[in-house]
Structure 1
Amino acid sequence: MKISTKGRYGLTIMMELAKKHGEGPISLKTIAQSNNLSEHYLEQLVAPLRNAGFVRSIRGAYGGYVLGDDPEKITAGDIIRTLEGPISPVEGLEDEEPAKKALWMKIRDAVKDVLDGTTIKDLANYKEDGNMPDSYMFYI
Structure 2
Amino acid sequence: MLVSTKGRYALRFLLDLAQHKDAGVISLQAVAERQNVSKKYLERIVSLLSPSGILKITRGYQGGYQLARDPELITVAEILMLTEGGFSPVPIDEARECPASAFAWESLEGAITRCLENITLQDILDHSDPVIEYYI
TM tier, smaller? 0.7 to 0.9
Q: Deviation of residue 107 (structure 1)? A: 1.5
Structure 2 residue identity aligned to 1:79: I
Structure 2 residue identity aligned to 1:34: R
Partner of 2:87: 87
Asked whether the 8 Å contact 1:25–1:66 carries over to 2, the reply is yes
Structure 2 unaligned regions, length at least 5: 130-136
Structure 2 residue identity aligned to 1:97: P
The range that moved more, 38-47 or 86-95, is 86-95
Asked whether the 8 Å contact 1:16–1:124 carries over to 2, the reply is no
Partner of 1:109: 110
Q: Deviations over 1:77-121 (max 9, x none)?
A: 1010101102100122333232x2222122212211121110111
Partner of 1:135: none
Q: Deviations over 1:43-70 (max 9, x none)?
A: 0101111111111211233321001211
Structure 2 residue identity aligned to 1:59: R
More helix by share: 2
Q: Secondary structure at the match of 1:57?
A: strand
How many Å separate the matches in 2 of 1:58 and 1:4?
A: 28
% identity of equivalent residues: 35
Q: Deviation of residue 127 (structure 1)? A: 2.4
Partner of 1:10: 10
Q: Deviation of residue 125 (structure 1)? A: 2.6
Structure 1 unaligned regions, length at least 5: 129-140
Structure 2 residue identity aligned to 1:16: D
Normalised by the length of structure 2, the TM-score is 0.85
Structure 1 runs (4+) deviating above 3 angstroms are none
How many Å separate the matches in 2 of 1:60 and 1:104?
A: 47
How many Å separate the matches in 2 of 1:46 and 1:126?
A: 25
Matches within 5 A, 1:1-140: 1-91=1-91, 92=93, 93-98=95-100, 100-128=101-129
How many Å separate the matches in 2 of 1:109 and 1:103?
A: 10
Q: Secondary structure at the match of 2:82?
A: helix
Q: Deviation of residue 22 (structure 1)? A: 4.0
